[in-house]
Structures are given as structure tokens and as C-alpha cells.
Structure 1
Amino acid sequence: MDNSLQSAKLVLLLAIALVLFLNTELNFHIAAGALDSDSKVYIVYLGEREHDDPELVTASHHQMLESLLQSKEDARNSLIYSYQHGFSGFAALLTSSQAKKISEHPAVIHFIPNRILKLKTTRTWDHLGLSPIPTSFSSLSSVKGLLHDTNLGREAIIGVIDSGIWPESKALNDQWLGPIPKRWRGKCEPGEQFNATIHCNNKLIGAKYYLNGAVAAIGGKFNRTIIQDFKSTRDANGHGTHTATIAGGSFVPNVSIYGLARGLVRGGAPRARIASYKACWNVMGDEGGGTDGRCTTADMWKAFDDAIHDGVDVLSVSIGGAIPEDSEVDKLDYIAAFHAVAKGITVVTAAGNEGPGAQTVNNVAPWLLTVAATTLDRSFPTKITLGNKQTLFAESLFTGPEISTGLVFLDSDSDDNVDVKGKTVLVFDSATPIAGKGVAALILAQKPDDLLARCNGLGCIFADYELGTEILKYIRTTRSPTVRISAARTLTGQPATTKVAAFSCRGPNSVSPAILKPDIAAPGVSILAAISPLNPEQQNGFGLLSGTSMSTPVVSGIIALLKSLHPNWSPAAMRSALVTTEPIFAEGSNKKLADPFDYGGGLVNPEKAAKPGLVYDMGIDDYINYMCSAGYNDSSISRVLGKKTKCPIPEPSMLDINLPSITIPNLEKEVTLTRTVTNVGPIKSVYKAVIEPPLGITLTVNPTTLVFKSAAKRVLTFSVKAKTSHKVNSGYFFGSLTWTDGVHDVIIPVSVKTRYSM
């Protein structure tokens, strides 16, 4: 998802006419007047397939359209996509009257307008505790832990739905990779500047692109003045290349960005295979001010459909929309993702970049693995020396040479004739335009947002208000203020501690408050990975980008490793292993202590997730209960699943969905809920409950001891009674429930908000 996260910063830097690419994730806004006034693209969702043969599924779609349009030719011309592999449905170009008629068809479960979505490394893997990689990549002898046990994820297949891929990237080399797994059913499609035979290899094993939805949205023709992209999987933007190589990029030694963040770059699963599904396109913005990445729901659904057919193990989807307001089952790509999860594919999604406000988190369906972003224990400190010899430190990606200039302050009230040529300019949040005035450097004082940019080579220094005020005080008390700015350097470890990124979206879930979102957090700030050489922020095909778009593929890479180690684990088991194995209590927004609405279960720990001890698993029955509790009727659920289904009576409680978390949004007096755990550790194990109750809440667990005696009885159920002493409507209080056998600590977050009634 993209840096609306950086919207304030972007507005500022555009205002001073610096051509910056601060958006590390892609925005999608329909060009003004692009949509045809009579016909629009709609998605018709019909549920699970009635036929195993994809051609029969497509034929049924043609028949439905033909009965509506009364013409075979019109039906054929209207059809944009047939979703025929993972589920049944189609996208079609329809008038409003046709749309109304087909939406009333008894076989139609959901009828969804084609919507607009947003596309929301050297130090990352060391920071997360994965074994260091030896200099000689051909040997695994010195690789330990999860990477060793999975052969670096060699047989895993990572699908990435994004803006495509740059196939010549060094991070896509297939050195030391064997043949493509025989189970792979996908392919590489040729296209503009993309030769399937030359550009795919044993690393990049799949490449497809989806353009019909985007073209229909701009009038039905591929117009180069609007869509400034390759008609192929080739990535003009760089976002897709970056996310794909974070997840599964090969080894590339001695990489840096102008000397910063130098080291060995690799993906989380460096020997995994990558399949790129390009569903997002570079499209000219509303006012012609450059291109943005744009994705339509119709194209996204087809990418999901193909990925399910092709046989990916995990889907990395750094895309989302606005803050959710309607049901997860109706929302955007959630139902397509449901079918992927139902077929054993873990779908990893971005929490969003509109934080740090509450209830901003995206991708909130319970079958999605939703990822927040944290900083790394790495910073790029930049020394600022004022003319009075005072030394201050800010952050930047400025790599020199050292700047020594006069220093001036500008704001909206400043005289247009202020001489800034060859000087360093201090601004607070907004500034008078200075394009063409020969500014040497810019110091931007603002609310911390954890985002850095190179500013097209200009010395761009990012400071907080406190530091900015200190510099302003010097300017106002000095006749001829001067400043010297040194090149940034790379600092790892203390005092550069991990915290939840300011831009990362927070919970609680705006649609289903009992479903904790985000699920987990991972590094997403200044992540170094491959990028398109067409991106102006790159150097030698690599770039530093920030956003939950970057934290998402970090988790996707870890899922690929876990899938290699535990091929029979469900997506829910994978999520549980991540969520329950390493909580954090780090800084959140506004320097408060972070809580589960900031980071879910905590900062992901790959090594511990490989051996979690217990998992909170979920299957189709859990998702049925969720849909029932969300108000869906038996008929709709039956068609989604492709089999007759009845909701239990009484209606299931959403509190009983077997999540690796407990969230009670409106506790009045007391409530009892249940959870089930599956033993994936030693067969004979005894776990005891350790409770850290939220403030003013009593938690009672029954039983307090779980005894696993044999392989035949690996599943046990327990209840949790929550009771409050609060006699007011409260905000959320936080605690935890841990099951421990002395080796494994299986921790789930507990979040409770009380409601008092007389």
C-alpha cells in the first residue's frame, strides 16, 4: 500500500518544486474523465466452481452474459476476465441497467464495482535473527537454524501481486538453483521488452500481466500518454521488483546506496522461486504531475485466480484500499484471497501507511496475515554543525561531499526576495517554493515519520521540531548564520532501537473489532532491495524504500521458509507460529508504549516460529462460523464454499473464532470464550497457563494445565472467562495469555474494552 503515509512530506517537497519520489508505495487515482459514462467494469462473484474443467466454468460465464445481453458477440465483447481456477466469477463491461439486472440474478453472490487499490535487504535478516550467510554461497555448512533446515527455502514458490518485475536484476540470478519444482503449473508470458525464454530462469519461474481492468477504466484503449508502462510483466516503477526480492531475492554481495547500508543483500528465502503477477500499472496522475501505480479489482482478482491455479505457496500482496467500512467478505480482494487460503496458500498483506491513528488498519479479514511495519536497529545519522560550533544530529540519506553554507529560514510569510542561492534552507512542514533558486541543502523540521528520501541528490536533512527550533533560535540570534552538513553514516545497534513505524496503520479493526489487526510486525523502514533502474531513487539497480509494502514481503519470505519446513501446515498455523513466538513492547506512536493494535503479536521471530510448540489452527469450519457471525445467510455461504452449509444455532460468537489472540471490544460483566490448540512439538508435553490480565480485568483459564499424551491426541480445547471490575466505559487495556512447557512460550495478546450499563 502506498505512502499516503508520506502525503504531508510529499506535498511539502513538491511545493518547493523538488522532484522527489518519496512514495515508496503506489497510489492509484482514476484520471479525471477517464471512465466511460455509460459502461463500467463490474465483478460478478459466483462462489466456488461447479466444474473442475476451467473451460466449462468460462462457458457458464458466457452463457450468463449471453442470456443478459441477448447476443453471443456482445457477451464475448463484454467479458473482461473469466475467473475459472480458484473460484467462479467474471469481470464484464456493463451499463448501469445491465448491471442492475445481473446483480439480481439468483446465482450471483456478490456484485462489486471495479474499484481502485493502492500498492501500499542488507540489515533486515540479521536483525530478525536468521543465520548469517557465508561468503561462499555454494555451501550450507556454516548456515544454521531455519535457513539450513529449509535449504534456504529452495522448493518454496512465492507469488507476488504487484507492479511487475525487472528480470535482469542481479537479485534474480538462479545460481545454485536446481530445476523448477515439478508441481509448478504456471508460465512466463512474453510481452513488450520481455522475452519469456530469456528473462525467466530457475529463480523467476512465472511472469504474467493483467491489463484489461486498467484499460477499461481509461476508455478501452492502451493510451501511452496515460499508461506509461510496458505491456508486459516488466516493472517500470520498481515497487514490484523491490517487494519480490525482499521476499525471495538471491544473494548479491557488497551492495549499498551511495555507500550507505552496505552489505550482502538477499531475500528472506534466497533459494525460493518467484512468480510475478503484474496487476498494477504506472498511470499519469489526475493533473499530469507524474505517474502513480494503479491497480483495479478486476485485474487483481484474475491474478489471484491464476496464482491459485499455478501452485504458489504464499502470496505477497502489498496492496490495499481505504480504511475498511463494509464486510470483509464484500471488500475488494478479500474474497479472492479467501479462496487462496482455503486451498492452502498463505496470503500476506500490508496493514497500510495511514497511521498512526487508531482504526486505520487495512486488510482486516481473519484469513489474511496482516503486517505492520517497524524500524530496523539501523539509522543514518547526519552531523549538523552550526556557526557557533554547536553540533546537532539529524537523519538523512545525504552522502556528501560536505556542505558548508549560509543558513536561512523560510516559511509561508517569508519575503519572495530572500536570497537563498547557495545556502541551506530550514523549513517547518511547509515552505515557499524555491525551485530554480540554487538552494544547496534543505533541513526539513517536522513531526517524526520514519521516512527518508534522497531528494534527487540535494542535501535533504530530516529533523524533528525540537531540533528545528534549536536551529531557528540560532538563525534569529545570529547576524550571518552558517552551517556545515556532513555526510550521513550507517549506525547499527544501540541507540538505534526498533520501534513501530509512525506511518504504520493501527488497530482496532474498524469492521470486526473482535478480530485483532494487524497480526504481526516486521521491518519496513529504509529496506534495501532490488528496484527498477528506471526509478530515480536507485543506484545500480537497488534502492531504499519504506512502508508496510516492505514489511509484507519480509513476512512472505519467512512464510516460504516455514512452508519448506512444515509443508502440511495450514495458513492459520503459519500465522499462529509467527504471532505467538515473540511479542515486543517497544515505542509506538507519540512515544507511548506500543500495544497489540500497533504490532499484533509482536516483531516477527523466524527461528522461534519454526518451533512454536503449539499453534492455534483454523479450518473451513472456523471461517464458516465467522461468516455466520458476520450475518451471511446459509445460501450465500454455501455458494462461496461450493457445498451445502448451514449456520449453527445459536449463531456463533465472533469471540470464539480460533485466532492466536483474544480481543473483547465490549465487555459488560463477564464473558466466556474458547480456544483450541494443536501440539506441533514433542508428543508428550505439559503446558501451564501464565496470565497477565489487562488492568481491571480478571481472566480465568480452564483448565490451567494442558497435558498431551500421544500423537493421536494433539488437539486440546480450553476456555477463558473475562470479568471486569470497571464501572465505566473504558478504552482498551492489554495483557497476555501464555502456555509454557519450560521450553516453548506460546503467547497470545489479550485486548479488552469495557462497557458499563446500569
Structure 2
Amino acid sequence: MPLILGSMTAVPAAAAPAGPTATQQIQPVKKVDPSNYPDGRYIVVLNEEPAATYDGGVPGIEATKPGKGEKLTGKKDFQKYKKHLEQNQRAVAAAEGVEINRSYAAALNGFSAKLTSEQAVELAKDPNVRMVAPDVENAPDDYSSMDILELRGKKGAWKTEFGGEKNAGAGTVVGVIDTGYAPGSAFFAGEEVQPLKGNAKPKVGVPYLNAEGQIAMLKADGSTFLGECQAGEGFTGEECNSKVLAAQYFADDFIRFVPEANRAPEEVLSPVDVDTHGTHTASTAAGNSGVTQTVDGRDFGVSAGVAPAAKLSVYKVCWADDDPATGGCYSSSSVAAIEQATLDGVDVLNYSISGSATTTTDPVSLAFLGAASAGVFVAASAGNSGPTASTVNHGAPWVTTVAASTFSHALQGTAEFSDGTKFRGASIMNAGVPASPVILSADAAAAGGVSPALCGPDSLDPALVTGKIVVCDRGVFDRVAKSAEVKRAGGIGMILVNLTDSSMDTDKHSVPTVHVNAPQSLALKEKVAANPDIKVALVPEDTTGEPLPPVPQIAGFSSRGPLLATGSDLLKPDIAAPGVAVLAGVSPIGTGGDEFGFLSGTSMASPHVAGVGALILAENPKWSPAAVKSAMMTTATPVKNAEGGVDGDVFATGAGQVNPSGVLSPGLIYDAGLKEYLQFVEGTGFADVDGLEGIDAKDMNVPSFAVGNLTGKVTVTRTVTGMKPGTYTASANVPGVDVTVTPSVLKFTKPGESQSFTVTFENDTAALGQFAKGSLTWQSKQEAVTSPVAVRPQSVEAPSEVSFTSEGSDGSGTIPVTSGSNAPIAMELLGLSKATSEDFSLVPNGGGLSLSTNASNYVSTLTIPEGTPFAKLSVVSADPTADFDFFVVNSRNQIAYQAATGSASESLNLQNPTPGTYRVIVNLFASPDGRATAGTFDAAILGADEGNASLTPNPLELANGESGEVTLNWTGLEPGSYVGRVTYEGSAAVTFVSVVVGADGVAAPTAVSSTGDADKLRTAPQGDATPTNGK
């Protein structure tokens, strides 16, 4: 009872029935209103201090208040003072004929009892009584990410915007592509679905069995969802119900690639979740309401999914085995699941699985394009590689990419040192540990123990650890495995320390644990190292008294932009949502029997946005996925920085924190559909779309603005749709950049009317080579429609690649350059480095690959040295009508890079490729009449300046916004292929050069660029900032 404890310290001690002591005072008779004390159960608090705060004064009884590092029950007179308090309590109670139910003396001096109104009034008047408080049946404080989204309560969005908790999301289906689900979770409980009775017609949001016995449901948009409850191991297919309408699994590749002996023993070929990730995401997006959550015996109150009235459809694509290289989530399975979900008729898809940072047109992204064109809103996790820049995944504009934010201060613990120093950290321990000896794990190494500093398995010596609290470094081993090792060695508590700034995680540990972040954690370790006799207590709350960090903030692990794909002309992530220590359902199989648990990661943030998508579509079922995304982004609320101000890093926050209360009244919508998305795809150069003209990424009609290269003036175009009549005026704030919006006023006379505008950016004082960040807002009398902006003024704009051919050993070619300043442009040339060439002749086999050379596959070994800035790999076909492909395979037999289009010849540009030894598989997919076809494999690894080429003029003098040319001159080159790199002083711009000497008229293949590992065929779920049992 925190309120009672607080008042105890503010009121002087009063006389006990036996008579006042020297430190006690007689209180005047108190005025009491009898109407405040009906018959009932009460807690009666007396004036004398409890044992925990008693500092002496009663004759013959010494102070029992424990000092730092002392235990209350260890005080010599604790029992004597406790007996004294209980005696006085009985006297007070007896005076009013009250029978005590329970007595309190340690943390509180008082008793509980059932009182008549008269007894309560008389006790309240007693000068020896501090308060008489009703014994209320308090529910525990609910710990839920729904609160920061302001969904719950009388003024919450569920009630004010979405028809109440029982209707929020009704008529929609959320598909979750993940590790499956735990059918027994309370979040997924439902009734058995029955056929329609008689001539009854389907009702929106009410599932029924169709004539084939499948679960169907009429949705809010008028269409019908129809899925499958697919039987499998440990899953009869009868588990689906009125909450989970369908559950399917996609195991073909897992079965094909992973022998049964190598599969995780707990894994089952069914929709059942053995990991916990999918259960967590599904329950967060659309779990039932009114679910009481308990973790390790601690009650965290009642919670729900974001869209509790929405239904769920589960698609399991992620699998567990004993080798991370072969398990995980196969892209082919994900594509199959996306397709099936689209066919089933889901309204929303959540995809908390990793993806590519370098392309927007990988198979999974394109599958999502198909889903979006069918009206499915897709939310995907941004990735957990922050705070490093340009790590954000899922860059396609038809996907809503979600960053993770903090949301609560509830899960705190404190390491209290005996010298008075306190360190706050994350903790969910039920009970703390009294002041005890503490030791660094590195100083407690067992003989032959491996990684004792990391508290690795069997690394600690029980003789050194028993009875102590152990400080363990984070990393390598699962976090919960560290506390298990501490317990094995006899430790009684753990302080888990981050060595660098990272997440603080609320795991269920084997011993009481506080997880402390850097840099405080480093000071903690130094203190322990310098004071071997110091003691520490672990307290299950924050006792530091320090200001609490502002919320929401972007989590350190949340991946950031700028987006590598599209030349940073598309802003990602799109939006933020709670993703740190999110409490939701978990799988008992994956957690040793637990039903609820905490996880952190952008995986946890994404389903919040998926749930909000369902809320919107339940109310506006005809809105496009782009409209749903736009409504979220333009009504988002600011994310805070560490100082409590607005975080202006739009590459971390996107548009800001999702705000369910505002999404139904966005004012204006930045809409898009299949046509615009296909224009975007064509603009990337990925494919030609008949009848459509490609657009630049910066012109994609999204509610954000990004320009990766600003030289001179750059103008972009947007179209907005008015949701109701009104006049909107534009304003922009991008420090150091002039922003002109034309027209600056938009007037809408009717709902659904669309108008276009342009935005012109021109650098004024912003630093070159760095992004200037800000916002653009359309303001009406009622709404502010705000979009994030990021533009990067550059000193140079130049092509990323140029190719030249030369008949002889000497020649030249020009590179177009545009200046972003008035300063001369100095350039540096690396190369030209000659490629090695290997000839072959193959017959087609339709794409069947082999790791060794055969009739249809030529296999070569490729070594990429450490520090290689660029490599160009090419396959040149002797027949322009054939179709060669090639694949670069790493040491784990994974395809790291590939070039497999319909062209006769193929090429890859690898920027900063991962060093190592690879096998290159060249495959003849097809040829005219199936005949043998010759080809050449060229591999050019860029090394040092070869002294065989130069740039003129150098420097190049141009005015800001002026375009010109620089000439590349080469001399003394032998026949073959060469590569080089041009860099521009003060700019991030890079131009890669290809020169073919002795060209015989064969056209150079178009290159597919990569800035690192290309899309993996297998990817992993983004559950925690580290895995579920994270490190």
C-alpha cells in the first residue's frame, strides 16, 4: 500500500495505548464523517512506526530500522518490537470489540479486520490510529502496451473511436506469418464454430461452418474469409474456433533441406508454435480481451491484443533445427504463405521476419505487392540492427515498416551497494536479494571453464560463487542461460551488464536479476573490481530516485535508415510502436510451460501496427492499404529523445508513434495502388511494365519525403485526397534547406476529391553529405497532416556506374557530374584492375544447380580479400538468345549473391562485398533448341591504383546546380575487362567504372548492384533484439 507508507513518514508518531513515549505525541480528536465508513473490511494503520522504519524511542527496545546491507529480521530487537506493536494493535482493537484478521508489523504497523460502520468510525477517531482504509479488492496494476497507445478506459480509443473493446476490429481477419501459435493460449480461446441455422444469413464478424465444413466469415468489406485448419503433428485440425479461424503450415523446404535427425526435438510439422515468437506477435495484434497475465508467479493484470474483436489466421513458416544455417524462415515458404493468406481473404498481414535492406523487389516484397494490390494491409518489422545507420529492412512502399519504441517504467529493479550507490535496471523478479557478497564472473572462473566473464555453461566455480550475487557480461550465450549457470554454481542473484548501449531485457531468470545498461554498467563493474568486500542488494523496484527516462523513445536495437535500396529516395521506417519488454502470450513448449512472457524487438512493434490496421479497416473497410498507412503516419505523435524533447531523427522514428485515437480522422490521404507500385518497380530498373512509365522512388506517393542526393534544386510530386471539404495550407521546417510547396493552399469542396502539389528542395546552409531532417504539414482548421522529411545536400551527383568499350589499349570516356556547391570538385581514381576470365560451354537443364561442374553447370572458386571495395562478376554469353544465370555460394552452401534474370548475359556489382572464399555456379537455364552454348565468366576484384588511367579535368569546376563532364583516360590496357572506382572529395557519391578492351561487339550485360550480402534464401525471425532466449 504505497499511499499508506507515504503518509506514515509524514505524520509524527502518536501515543500507544500503554502511554506516550518520549518520541511520541498525543494527537487531537479527529473529525470523522460516518458516511465514509460503511460496514465492511478495513485495514487499520496505527501511528507507531513499523519495524522497517523504527529508529528507537521505546524504552528497552533498540532501533530495528536496518542499515545499508542489513536484513530487517537480523536486527537484535526485531521480534521484541514486533511483539510490542502487535500488543498495542490488540489493545486498540479490543477497545472497540474488533477481532483482528491479520496483523502487520514489519513494513506496516496495523491490522486488517471486518468492521461495522460504528467500529470504523470510532477507530478513525482514535488518536493512536493513523488511518482506517477500506480493504479494496484491488486488481494488480495492468502492464500493457495498450496503455501508451491510449486504447483502454472510458476515454480510450477502443471506446471513443472503435465501438468498444468487444467491437474493436470486428469483421476483419489478421494473418500472422511466423512460427505458428499456441492453441491453448487464453488469447486465442473461442467457441466451436457452428453451421448457419435454417435460412439464416451470415453476419459480419460472426464465423460459421460452410457446407464443406470449413470455417468462413463475412467480413466488414462484404467479402468472405475462408481458410483451412490444417492437421499435423500434435494438431488435429479441430483446434480452430471463433477466434482463430484458420491455421496452416508451410514446411516443404524445411522437410526438403533438413534431415529429421537435425530438426529440433520439440519441432512439430503443424501450426503449433514451439518457439513462442508467433504466439507473441499474434496475441499482440488481435488477442482476446480480458486476459489475466502472470509471469513467474507475478500478476501483471489484464490485457488484450490491439484489435481484440478481430479474428486471426495463422501461417507457420519458421522452423527450428540444430543448425541456424538451415533452419529459420524460408523465403519460398513466406511467399507461399503470403499467397495463401491473400487467397484466404485476410485484411491484414503481420510479418515480423527479417528481410533485405538493399532491395525492394525480392520475392517476399513482390509477394507483398500482390497482397497489397488485393487490398491487404502489410505491417513488417524494421529489423534489430540499430542504432547502426542504413540497417532498416522491408523498404518497399507498399509495406508499412515499423520501428520499436519504449513504453513503460514498470519493470525496474535496483542494485543497491552497501556504500549507498544505486544502479537501476530492468527486472521482473518477484522478491529481491538482501545485501550479499558480490563477485565479477571473470573472477569466479572454474578450472577449464570457457568464457566465465560471459557466465557460459559450466564456467563458474561453486566454491567462489555460492551465496553471492554474480555480475555477468552480456553476449554470446542466451541471457537466461547465464542466470542458470549462476544458480548451478550456487549464486543467489545476478547483475547482467551490457558492455555497450543496448536493450535491457525482462527475462524470466533462474535467480533474481537486474539487467543494467551501459555506461552505468561499466561503472558498476569498476566498483565491484575495486571493492572486493562490498555488498549489494537486489531490490524489485526502482529506488534510485533518479528521473525516469522519457517514453516513448526509439529502442537502441531498432534498425535505422536511410534506406540503402532506392538510393535513399524513400524514407524508412514508416512509423514506430511499442517494442521493448512487450508482454503477450507465449508458447508453453518454447518456454518450459509459461503462457505469458516479455519479448523485445521490432517483431513486437509490428503487430501493434497490424492491429491498428485492423481497427481502421473495421471502420473503413474500403480503404486501400496505402490509405491505412497514410492515416497512421500523418496522425502519429512525436517520439521523445533522452532529454524529453522531440526526437527529430526521422530515420529512427519514421513519422512517429502510432496514435490509434487519430487514425480515423486523417484529413488528407496519400493514396496509391497497383499502378503506382508498378511504376515504382519499373523506376527501380527491376522490370519493364507495358504501358506504364517508371517513376523515381522520391516521387512515390507516400506520406513522407526523401531525397538522397540534393544538388541544385530537386522537385518531387505528391497527390492527396481530401476526406471532407476543407482548406489546407502548407508549411515546412527543414533546417538549412529552402522548401517551396506549389500550390501552397489546397481547397477541397467534397470528400474524395484529389489534388496534386510539388515540393522543391534547395540547399541553403545545410551541411553537405549529411541529411537535413524535418517535416511538412498541411494545416486546416481541424487537422494537421504531417509528413517526415529527409534530404541530403551533396557536393556531387554522379552515376553509380558507367561502362565503356575500347578497341585498342588506349581510350577515354566521359562521366556526367552535377555540382551541389560552388567549390571545385576534386576526384580520386582507384584501379583500373583487370578481371580474370574463364571459358566454358554448357547445355541447358532448366535451372538445376550443382555444386560441382557438370554438363549444365560450370563451378569456379572466387576469393574476395578483406577490405575489397568493389567486385564485378560477369557471365557473357556467346549467343544473345541463350539464358545464362549465375549464383555465388558461401562456405555454408547458402546463395550469397545471384544474377538470374531472363537475359543472355548476367552481371553483378558488389559494393563492399563480404570477404571470403566462394563457389560461383554458372548455369545455362535455356538455349535455342537446347544446344550447347559457350560463355565466359569474368571476375574483377578492385585493388590498388594501377597507374593505367587518369581523370581530367581534376578538379572539376562547376557552379551549384551546374552539370558538366569529367573524362576518364586509360592507356596500355591489354585485351580484357577492367574495373575502377571514382570518388568525389566531400561527397558520398561513388562511380564504378567498367572498361572492356578489345570488344568484339558483344553487349556488356546489365549489372545487378549489391551493397553487401544479397537477399538470403533463408531468413530468421526478428523476435528479440537478440533471439527469444536472447544474448
Would the TM-score normalized by the shorter structure come out above 0.5?
Answer: yes
Contact 1:373 1:500 in 2 (8 A): yes
* Partner SS, residue 159 of structure 2: coil
Task: Note the 1:731-742 alignment, pairs <5 A.
Answer: 731-742=770-781
Read off the aligned partner of 2:494 and give its amino acid letter: L
Read off the aligned partner of 1:437 and give its amino acid letter: A
Q: How far is the alpha carbon of 1:127 from its aligned partner?
A: 0.8
Q: Deviations over 1:144-184 (max 9, x none)?
A: 32353992111110111111111111111236973342301
Task: Note the 1:657-676 alignment, pairs <5 A.
Answer: 657-676=700-719
Determine the structure 1 residue equivalent to 2:378: 347
Q: Deviations over 1:606-658 (max 9, x none)?
A: 11011101110001221122112111343xx3xxxxxxx2342xx53322111
Determine the structure 1 residue equivalent to 2:360: 328
CA distance in 2, matches of 1:673, 1:740: 20
Contact 1:448 1:463 in 2 (8 A): no
Q: How far is the alpha carbon of 1:555 from its aligned partner?
A: 0.6
Q: How far is the alpha carbon of 1:256 from its aligned partner?
A: 3.1
Q: Kindly, what percent of the aligned residue pairs are identical?
A: 30
Inter-CA distance 415–258: structure 2 relative to 1 (3 Å threshold) = closer
Contact 2:587 2:593 in 1 (8 A): yes
Q: Deviations over 1:384-439 (max 9, x none)?
A: 22123434322222222534321122438979578222211224456999664222
Read off the aligned partner of 1:192 and give its amino acid letter: E
Read off the aligned partner of 2:386 and give its amino acid letter: G
Larger radius of gyration: 2
1:475 lines up with 2:491 in the alignment:
no
Match among 480, 493, 500 for residue 441 of structure 1: 493
CA distance in 1, matches of 2:343, 2:788: 36
CA distance in 1, matches of 2:692, 2:715: 21
Match among 590, 612, 616 for residue 558 of structure 1: 612
Q: Deviations over 1:697-722 (max 9, x none)?
A: 100111111111134x6101111111
Inter-CA distance 275–429: structure 2 relative to 1 (3 Å threshold) = closer
Inter-CA distance 155–170: structure 2 relative to 1 (3 Å threshold) = same
CA distance in 1, matches of 2:551, 2:184: 35
Determine the structure 2 residue equivalent to 1:87: none
Q: How far is the alpha carbon of 1:352 from its aligned partner?
A: 0.6
Inter-CA distance 667–341: structure 2 relative to 1 (3 Å threshold) = same
Determine the structure 1 residue equivalent to 2:272: 234
Read off the aligned partner of 1:667 and give its amino acid letter: L
| CA RMSD across the alignment | 3.1
Task: Note the 1:253-402 alignment, pairs <5 A.
Answer: 253-258=291-296, 262-285=300-323, 294-321=328-355, 323-325=356-358, 327-329=359-361, 331-402=362-433
Read off the aligned partner of 1:442 and give its amino acid letter: M
CA distance in 2, matches of 1:318, 1:470: 36
Task: Note the 1:98-247 alignment, pairs <5 A.
Answer: 122-132=143-153, 143-148=159-164, 151-174=167-190, 178-180=206-208, 181-182=217-218, 183-197=224-238, 199-218=239-258, 222-223=260-261, 225-226=263-264, 228-247=266-285
CA distance in 2, matches of 1:455, 1:237: 15
Q: How far is the alpha carbon of 1:473 from its aligned partner?
A: 4.6
Match among 746, 749, 756 for residue 785 of structure 2: 746
Determine the structure 2 residue equivalent to 1:529: 584
* Partner SS, residue 464 of structure 2: coil
* Partner SS, residue 503 of structure 2: coil
Contact 2:648 2:773 in 1 (8 A): no
Q: Which of the pair has the greater relative contact order for Cα pairs under 8 Å at 6+ separation? A: 1
CA distance in 1, matches of 2:772, 2:507: 41
The gaps in structure 2 that reach 5 residues or longer are 1-141, 193-204, 209-216, 219-223, 448-460, 796-818, 820-957, 959-1031
Read off the aligned partner of 2:257 and give its amino acid letter: A
Contact 1:184 1:311 in 2 (8 A): yes
Determine the structure 2 residue equivalent to 1:71: none
Q: Deviations over 1:565-602 (max 9, x none)?
A: 11111000110001111241422799994511001110
The gaps in structure 1 that reach 5 residues or longer are 1-120, 135-139, 638-644
Determine the structure 1 residue equivalent to 2:435: 404
CA distance in 2, matches of 1:431, 1:298: 30
Contact 1:171 1:245 in 2 (8 A): yes
CA distance in 2, matches of 1:496, 1:141: 23
1:519 lines up with 2:560 in the alignment:
no
Inter-CA distance 574–390: structure 2 relative to 1 (3 Å threshold) = same
Determine the structure 2 residue equivalent to 1:603: 657
* Partner SS, residue 422 of structure 1: coil
Determine the structure 1 residue equivalent to 2:507: 454
Determine the structure 1 residue equivalent to 2:14: none
Q: How far is the alpha carbon of 1:518 from its aligned partner?
A: 0.6
Q: How far is the alpha carbon of 1:285 from its aligned partner?
A: 2.7
Read off the aligned partner of 2:347 and give its amino acid letter: D
* Partner SS, residue 437 of structure 2: strand
Q: Deviations over 1:34-66 (max 9, x none)?
A: xxxxxxxxxxxxxxxxxxxxxxxxxxxxxxxxx
Read off the aligned partner of 1:352 and give its amino acid letter: G
Determine the structure 2 residue equivalent to 1:724: 763
Inter-CA distance 149–408: structure 2 relative to 1 (3 Å threshold) = closer
* Partner SS, residue 246 of structure 1: helix
CA distance in 2, matches of 1:215, 1:499: 42
Determine the structure 1 residue equivalent to 2:471: 426
Inter-CA distance 415–226: structure 2 relative to 1 (3 Å threshold) = closer
TM-score with structure 1 length normalisation? 0.75
Contact 1:588 1:595 in 2 (8 A): no
Q: Deviations over 1:676-697 (max 9, x none)?
A: 00012x3x211111221x2221
Inter-CA distance 557–448: structure 2 relative to 1 (3 Å threshold) = same
CA distance in 2, matches of 1:133, 1:537: 38
Inter-CA distance 679–188: structure 2 relative to 1 (3 Å threshold) = same
Contact 2:251 2:333 in 1 (8 A): yes
Read off the aligned partner of 1:463 and give its amino acid letter: V
Contact 2:426 2:506 in 1 (8 A): no
Inter-CA distance 663–538: structure 2 relative to 1 (3 Å threshold) = farther
| Bigger mean CA offset, 182-191 vs 352-361 | 182-191
CA distance in 2, matches of 1:723, 1:559: 36
Read off the aligned partner of 1:734 and give its amino acid letter: K
| Bigger mean CA offset, 459-468 vs 546-555 | 459-468
Determine the structure 2 residue equivalent to 1:116: none
Inter-CA distance 479–458: structure 2 relative to 1 (3 Å threshold) = closer
Read off the aligned partner of 2:237 and give its amino acid letter: A
Structure holding more helix per residue: 1
Determine the structure 2 residue equivalent to 1:686: 727
TM-score with structure 2 length normalisation? 0.56
1:580 lines up with 2:634 in the alignment:
yes
Inter-CA distance 350–537: structure 2 relative to 1 (3 Å threshold) = farther
Q: How far is the alpha carbon of 1:235 from its aligned partner?
A: 1.1
Contact 1:379 1:496 in 2 (8 A): no
Determine the structure 1 residue equivalent to 2:20: none
